[in-house]
Amino acid sequence: MSNGSKPLPGVLRWTLGDLTVTVMNDGYLPGSLDLVVGIEKDEAGALQAAGFRARDPRITLNAFLVTGPGREPLLIDTGMGGFGGPTLGRLPAALAAAGVRAEEIGTVLLTHLHPDHAGGLITADGSAAFPNAELVVHTDEAAHWLGDGALSRAPEAAKPYFENAAKATAPYADRTRIVTGGEVAPGITQVPLPGHTPGHSGYRIVSGDRSLLMWADIVHLPAIQFKRPEAGLVFDVDAEAARQVRRRILDEVASDRTFIAGAHLEFPALGYVARDGAGYSFVPELWVAAA
């Protein structure tokens, strides 16, 4: 609940082997149950209420910083940047609170090219927010949003998303690496999770005997989609593929007791998935403040 004061940056550091993963909250997107597809609106509202959330959801937005000995800081996603409203765009303050300057970022791994993940690539004047960073994106994602003729083929309602993707990535044109999965940085593997967008991808981070799967946008609305994985959002490019991938990943991480993080899980967005009747539940990781 806001008391009218300026919000403090949401930052939480987590040790993973010899790496540090810092969760950075960019704010939230004001939402509506009109965004939910695949289940009835009344059921979605009831699930929000059962989860102690407001009927009109706030969709949390997180990005992730990876640091460690002998390596340049690496960023997974960049937040909304200037493409959003007053409840978003907090990543620069969070990055500063984490003690990292934008020019120190050596690599930006994108999960996909929706503006809430790629908008923070640029500053207000359109220049690169991370002037020394290489950009990494899945080949199917680049082809869908940035390929020849992509804008002209896009449905009219979707054209702003294509224009935003092109604008955000333009300053990185000569330092963009297009990949199809596999290791993209030491200890970090891209995991294709197509459906939400064609090249939507998560990233598995491994250090020593510890691992973390940052699953990007597998879940947007935790109170709804853990209980009813068939529920999707209107932003899904391929709704059926997104449902299938969500079901598969939820089953896999629950079976394997995988440590996960999500772009739209409520901050600090780290935990586990447990089976819960016909659906699932999210179990936050126990966080203990340092002495």
Is 62:262 a contact under the CB 8 Å cutoff? Answer: yes
Beta bridge partners of 237: none
Give the chain's largest Cα–Cα span. Answer: 57
**pLDDT bucket at 5, cuts 50 / 70 / 90:** very low
**How far, in whole angstroms, is CA 81 from its chain's centroid?**
14
Report angle CA 46, 194, 67 to the nearest 5 degrees. 90
Task: Decide if pLDDT at 289 tops 60.
Answer: no
pLDDT, residue 3, reads 38
Q: Which of 177, 208, 207, 179 is nearest to 191 (CA)?
A: 179
> How confident is the model over 22-39, as pLDDT tens digits?
999 999 999 999 999 999
Tokens of residue 157, six digits: 């309602």
Averaged confidence pLDDT in the chain: 95
Neighbouring residues of 24: CB distance < 8 A, sequence distance ≥ 6: 9, 10, 11, 62, 63, 64, 65, 79, 91, 94, 95, 98
pLDDT of residue 9: 76
Rounded Cα–Cα distance for residues 76 and 63 (Å): 6
What percent of the chain stands above pLDDT 70? 96
- pLDDT value for 288: 63
Closest CA relative to residue 180, chosen from 132, 143, 218, 131: 143
Sheet order of strands, 19-30 included: 10-16, 19-30, 58-68, 71-76, 107-109, 134-138, 176-179
Determine contact, residues 11/22, Cβ cutoff 8 Å: yes
What is the reported pLDDT for 280?
Answer: 98
Residues 32 and 57: their CA atoms lie apart, in Å, by 6
**How much is the average pLDDT of 63-83?**
97
Place of tokens 């294709």: 192
